[in-house]
Amino acid sequence: MIELETPRERAILVGAPSKRLSTEVAREHLEELSRLVDTAGAEIVGSLVQRLDSPHPRFYLGEGKVEELRDLVRERSATLVVFDEELSPAQGKNLEDLLGCRIVDRAELILDIFATRARTSEAKMQVELAQLQYLLPRLTRMWAHLSRVRGGIGMRGPGETQLETDRRMINQKIARLKEDLERVARQRATQRKGREETYQAALVGYTNAGKSSLLRAMSGADVFVEDRLFATLDAATRMVDLGDGYECLLTDTVGFIRKLPHHLVASFRATLEEAADADLLLHVIDVSHPGWEEQMEVVDEVLADLSLEDHPTVLVFNKVDRLTHQEEEIWRRRAESEYEQPAVFVSTLEPGGVEPLRTLLRERMRAANPEVGITLSAAEGGLLAEIYREGEVIDRRDDGGTVFVRARLPVAMLGRLRRQPTVEVSER
């Protein structure tokens, strides 16, 4: 049996940045679009850029530039044109009618990538919900495709009827998906409640900043890592040994990106609540990326949308192995002078490269555990073993049948000890 490969889409990229953006930033935006298209599996055969004061209401681009784009589509035999901006349904339809090929905007492209990357049933539901919400106002444009194939006398009325039927079905599907995701959110909340006694940190950051690599380096667990945008969508949580008897749960969340479709942010809200319930956010920044400052601002904006702008946060400057010693020193001075949040510098490739983060998490846990004095009977060996297992014993004295311990303990365990009638707990 001969297997035929599906031919790759031949894509032309279109950037229409504001004239207020610098040339360098506009170039970086088009490069990011190129990486997104590559991640989606298309072949890039050309690009076109027009700096705009404001979008054209019919085509987004100016009419002269659209004519230039039509010539480029024909010359390169393009099957797809990808805009870096979000188009209105009318703009998309007008462009498809004029150019004679499919038009995809940035939001639709990201949704398509998410659809191919989703692995768990929850991620698939989240992406499907976002796709349907994006599709709903664009149904008329889709029916224009159908009318070109099957159109003519006798087809216009039923087509309109079918359009209304499709709208109703999509609305019903959206309602069902929202109900299913609310159920998943409740299940997640129950799971998180069972982890309340364990210190939790969440990795957040721009896509491809190295969050999954950090999780794998910190935990030693098998975590999927790939040098592509949105390599992983599903939140992964692993237990991490921090040394000196300390352990914490570390969660890798979905990466953010510039102009992330708002439907996706809303759909993935249940997943991102993992970050909201964490004791500490670890904002991972790729120091080797030329646009790291804009990426950092994008992440801050999404965190603000999730009401997490005031959450305890540490800046994790990643990939320092790509810097010279002098560049790293400049980075460190800048971090100390410009940012209120504490910062660490890490590398997942250098030996001991993640130890600064491990040390910081250990110190955070130690600071979160109050130091107390505990008096209990030597006969309560199980309770004593639990203190050693869950806390940090600083000092111990045995006096006959009584044991005096000075230790740092998690708040939850401290509460359990205070409820024991045979145990005396005193503040240091």
Digit-coded pLDDT (tens) for 280-332: 999 999 999 988 999 999 999 888 888 888 899 999 999 999 988 899 899 99
pTM over 0.85: no
Q: Is the pLDDT of residue 188 over 80?
A: no
How far is 175 from 156, CA to CA, in rounded Å? 29
pLDDT score of 159: 47
Q: Is the pLDDT of residue 147 over 70?
A: no
The dihedrals phi and psi of 408, each to the nearest 5 degrees, come to -95, 125
Sequence-separated contacts (24+) of 114-119 with Cβ below 8 Å: 114/230, 114/233, 114/264, 116/40, 116/41, 117/230, 117/231, 117/232, 117/233, 118/233, 118/234, 119/233, 119/234
pLDDT score of 83: 95
Q: Is the pLDDT of residue 169 over 70?
A: yes
What confidence category does residue 164 fall into, taking pLDDT thresholds of 50, 70 and 90?
confident
pLDDT score of 230: 62
What confidence category does residue 222 fall into, taking pLDDT thresholds of 50, 70 and 90?
low
What confidence category does residue 379 fall into, taking pLDDT thresholds of 50, 70 and 90?
confident
Residue with tokens 């439907």: 263
pLDDT > 70 fraction of the chain, expressed in percent and rounded: 85
Q: Is the pLDDT of residue 223 over 60?
A: no
Tell me: the pLDDT tens digits for 80-120? 999 999 898 889 989 999 999 999 999 888 888 888 877 77
Is 391 exposed, middle or buried, given 0-12, 13-18 or 19+ CB atoms closer than 10 A? buried
Q: Is the pLDDT of residue 275 over 90?
A: no
- What value does the mean pLDDT take over residues 128-145? 71
pLDDT score of 319: 94
What confidence category does residue 234 fall into, taking pLDDT thresholds of 50, 70 and 90?
low
SS3 352: coil
Mean predicted lDDT score pLDDT of the chain: 83
Q: Is pLDDT larger for residue 236 or for residue 297?
A: 297
Q: Is the pLDDT of residue 347 over 50?
A: yes
How far is 131 from 136, CA to CA, in rounded Å? 9
